[in-house]
A and B are shown apart, each in its own frame.
Chain A
Amino acid sequence: MKIIFKYTKLGKLKYISHLDTLRLLQRALRRTGLPAKYSEGFNPHPKLSIAFPLSLGIESIGEMAEVELAIRVERDVFVNKMNDSLPEGLQIISASEFKGNKPLPAQIVSQEYRLNVCFKSNQDLEQALKIADAILACDYNIIRVKEKKNKVTKKEINIVEYLTLMQIEAQSDLTFSIDFKVAITETGSLKIEEIRDFVSTYFQNIDHLTAIRTNLNFVDKSV
């Protein structure tokens, strides 16, 4: 059976890379004793994949992965066994059986981030709140430079084309949060660093800014 689950990546676990997170999940699964289905080939691995990579150093409360088990288990049994086996910062928060046939990574349509923006003074904060709603009103073009084996390619993209503003909310201590939905299209998506740069440029007198991924959205594209 195929299970799709949502999990957190909090605290120091934000420093675990994509590949290492994958291995961590695979090992945790092994320790539960639940039999996984295995890939074919030279070095077989349990069929478990992470939906969409997360940048190193960023926390999340909305990661997703899918796993194929060789037997049927109750959803709660799966979640409890896995959570016993997983470290504190990485815990499964929900899970459900998936009957479709498309791999999860191909079905992720958007990611969501919350940015907590902290200002130097109350005045700066008030100023910023006034213009916050209009943050996506103007284009914001950046140039992505890629270097591959001495070949430099440049691509211009418009940040705001990818973003939907979801919510702005005052938080404590000179801080408000701003939530974005970021589209994942055939041409890719945005990196959190790019969004941070964009937000930092738009507002003035930011003291510091932290980001957390809050969700991944998927649409069942099975036929």
Chain B
Amino acid sequence: MNNIKLDELLKKVEKPARYIGGELNSVMKDKTQVHVRFAFAFPDVYEVGMSHLGMHIIYYLLNQDKDIWCERVFAPWTDMEDELKYHDVDLFTLESNDSLKEFDFIGFTLQYEMSYTNILNMMSLAGIPVESKHRDDSFPLIVAGGPCAFNPEPLHEFVDIFFIGESEDLLPEVMEIYKQHKNSGEGKYSFFKKISHIEGIYIPSFYDVVYKDDNTIKERVKLYDKAPDIIKKRIVKNLDQAYFPEKIIVPFIETVHDRVVLELFRGCTRGCRFCQAGMIYRPIRERSVETLLKQADLLIDSTGHEEISLSSLSTGDYSKLIELAQALLDKYEERRIGLSLPSLRLDSITFELIKRVQKVRKSGLTFAPEAGTQRMRDVINKNISEEEIIDSVKTAFALGWSNIKLYFMVGLPGETIEDIYGIKDIAYKVKDEFFKRDKNSIKGNLNVSVSVACFVPKPFTPFQWEKQNTVAEFSNKTSILKKELKDKKISYSYHDPKLSVIEGAFALGDRRMSKVLKKAWQMGCTFDGWGDKFKYDVWMKAFEAADVSLGYYTERNKAFTEVLPWDFINCGVNKEFLIKEKELSLSRITTEDCRISCTGCGVNVELVGGPCFENHI
């Protein structure tokens, strides 16, 4: 598209800067000089997508190859969608402004299920048929990866190639093969055959699924005899030496997270039973302090960002956190670069650390008890006691904090009404701690914000066989809390139960969910994650039109013997471990952090080829 035409579109939309590109550190190449064109597609708006570290990594990873030009595209907001349609312009990338149609690959990242309608919409806005089988060799290959790819089946009709696991090594491997393939004149299925054996690659069109009369899965049938039976996730063995960009793009406009993000480690050893990330990102792998300091240095210098955030699943578990935080502060304190710390167990050392951090920039404090009672926390294996929460809050108040965020879930397996009232009790106890103190030491205006999510059972967790609460059950619980948490000092927010059950159906869904997805998109659903854009009634009609039952996925406890839609993926954690954990949860027996001693999830055998920690046997 030329500049004059683009200008015409940009003049009409509310936030034109979302679409202009040209940011510092974005990459321009001559398209006639590259061999492969890759469009990294984030199925949400610019401000959300640009906050995602993974996008920056992939962008630079691909662009360091002079034969590849990786560009970016985000879901256009509805005003831009209208303009594209009105002016008959294809959805374009931010760098070259070329139509998505002109690319070899469009790579979607699957961060949350409720962005799926945007994936279909983005393809369609570029004139690309959404179904894989309707795309001939003239169209780009649609590839996808990210956490939701661990249950890829609801997208099997639309996506050509899934990347399961971490892409730092996998993506360049596939690109090398594609470079050879591109000049061969062979079609896309021949390319699929060339890569289907690579660890981490899943080609959905090489398989068919046969169902039983009761709708459960009977078996998977291979349509290409050399396709693997089990798809094993790919990991980066040595995270410390893994690819990391020296620069990241600096957006012109404010994004959700405008800061340098350091990923201290991958994986988690806590073993919370509801948490998918805690399972699928195993084994735990840390970066060294030295590497992290180097990354911080490069990124701060190349961006001018004013904040560094330390990000990982349970950041406080990083083995050298104090050493790292002190080093970062020594270096950046004077330059007024803020550091956001995870919640820490407080002692004299961390106390000093937090005081130093607070000098540069004050931020709120977050705790995630997840459940309201000790009994419920034992069931989900969230090993934090009320005493620990209250103690931390006390110290936080003493340090001058007055903004506390508390995260909970409702609809957990085996939950009773006491567990709901337990959430209220914790909120009020936190409030009481604030005012219990000596009058003179009370500073600031207290705000306890309670945020409640609706539990969604996820694949590869001990709760993958559980049914989800219905909309009515969820709503009952969220409205009890709404009544109980009426207090000037407490603010309360909760996730929409209606959205959570649709999310549940995609998280737990099989191939038949792709029909529902297509219907919902055809009926006008996009940006479902954006509150006011979410149309529950239309989704219900889409289920009906596709002749698929929502309840089949979300309102049914499954037997351990049932074939689950994602069973063909090996994430390293084995089923026996998940069954054992599920049974322990029924007896409210907790499982300890596997840093202390290995609890036998299978990752060491499947992926590490030895113990996960040096001191383990």
Contact = CB atoms under 8 A, between A and B. Distances in A.
Contact of B20 (A15, A24, A44): A15
Which A-B residue pairs are the 5 nearest by beta carbons? A27-B304, A30-B304, A15-B16, A31-B304, A12-B20
Contacts of A57: 10-11, 16
B17 interface: yes
Interface string B1-43: 0000000001100001100111110000000000000000000
B435 interface: no
A20 B305 contact: no
Nearest to A35: B335
A27 B17 contact: no
A15 B252 CA distance: 10
Nearest to B337: A30
B254 interface: yes
B305 A38 contact: no
A19 to B, nearest CB: 7
B303 A44 contact: no
Contacts of A11: 22
A24 B572 CA distance: 44
B301 to A, nearest CB: 7
B194 interface: no
Contacts of A31: 301-304
Contacts of A13: 22, 252
Interface in A37-87: 38, 42-44, 56-57, 85, 87
Interface in B300-349: 301-306, 335-336
Contacts of A20: 17, 252-254
A37 to B, nearest CB: 11
B558 interface: no
Contact of A23 (B20, B254, B360): B254
B250 A43 contact: no
Contacts of B489: none
A61 B302 CA distance: 27
Interface string A9-38: 001110111011001101111110001001
A17 B253 contact: yes
A119 to B, nearest CB: 19
Q: Which of A16, A23, A88 has the most CB of B within 10 A?
A: A23
A19 B252 CA distance: 10
B437 interface: no
Nearest to A89: B22
Given A20-B253, A44-B336, A57-B11, 17 more contacts: A12-B21, A12-B22, A13-B22, A16-B253, A17-B17, A17-B253, A19-B254, A24-B252, A27-B250, A27-B304, A30-B304, A31-B302, A42-B362, A44-B361, A56-B16, A57-B16, A87-B22
B602 to A, nearest CB: 46
B79 to A, nearest CB: 14
Nearest to A36: B336
Q: How large is the interface on B (under 10, 10 to 19, 20 to 34, 35 or more residues)?
A: 20 to 34
A12 B23 CA distance: 10
Nearest to A56: B16
Contacts of B253: 16-17, 20
Nearest to B17: A15
Contacts of B21: 12
15 contacts: A13-B22, A15-B17, A15-B20, A20-B253, A23-B254, A27-B304, A27-B306, A30-B305, A30-B335, A35-B335, A38-B336, A42-B362, A43-B362, A44-B361, A56-B16
Contacts of A44: 336, 360-361
Nearest to B251: A20
A35 B337 CA distance: 12
Contacts of B336: 38, 44
Nearest to A11: B22
Nearest to B24: A87
A27 B16 contact: no
A42 B358 CA distance: 10
Contacts of B252: 13, 16, 20, 24
A30 B22 contact: no
Given A16-B252, A20-B252, A87-B22, A28 B16 contact: no
B306 A30 contact: yes
Contacts of B303: 27, 31
A28 B10 contact: no
Interface of A: prevailing SS:
helix
A23 to B, nearest CB: 7
Nearest to A32: B304
Contacts of B11: 57
B259 to A, nearest CB: 11
A15 B22 CA distance: 12
Contacts of B360: 44
A42 B24 CA distance: 28
Nearest to A46: B336
A31 B337 CA distance: 12
Interface string B272-311: 0000000000000000000000000000011111100000
Nearest to B305: A27
Nearest to A20: B253
A88 B21 CA distance: 13
A26 B254 CA distance: 13
A38 B336 CA distance: 9
A42 to B, nearest CB: 6
Nearest to B338: A43
Nearest to A45: B306
Contacts of A24: 252
A11 B24 CA distance: 15
Contacts of B254: 19-20, 23
Interface in B244-258: 250, 252-254
Interface string B344-380: 0000000000000000111000000000000000000
A173 to B, nearest CB: 15
B551 to A, nearest CB: 45
Interface string B223-264: 000000000000000000000000000101110000000000
Nearest to A28: B304
Contacts of B16: 15, 56-57
Nearest to A16: B252
B304 A16 contact: no
Q: Which of B11, B302, B336, B362 has the most CB of A within 10 A?
A: B336
A55 to B, nearest CB: 12
A31 B25 CA distance: 13
A11 B21 CA distance: 12
Contacts of A56: 16
A24 B336 CA distance: 17
Contacts of A15: 10, 16-17, 20
Given A27-B250, A31-B304, A43 B20 contact: no
A169 B446 CA distance: 63
A63 B252 CA distance: 18
Contacts of A26: 304
Contacts of A28: 304
B25 to A, nearest CB: 11
A147 to B, nearest CB: 18
A50 B361 CA distance: 24
Nearest to B250: A27
Contacts of A17: 17, 253
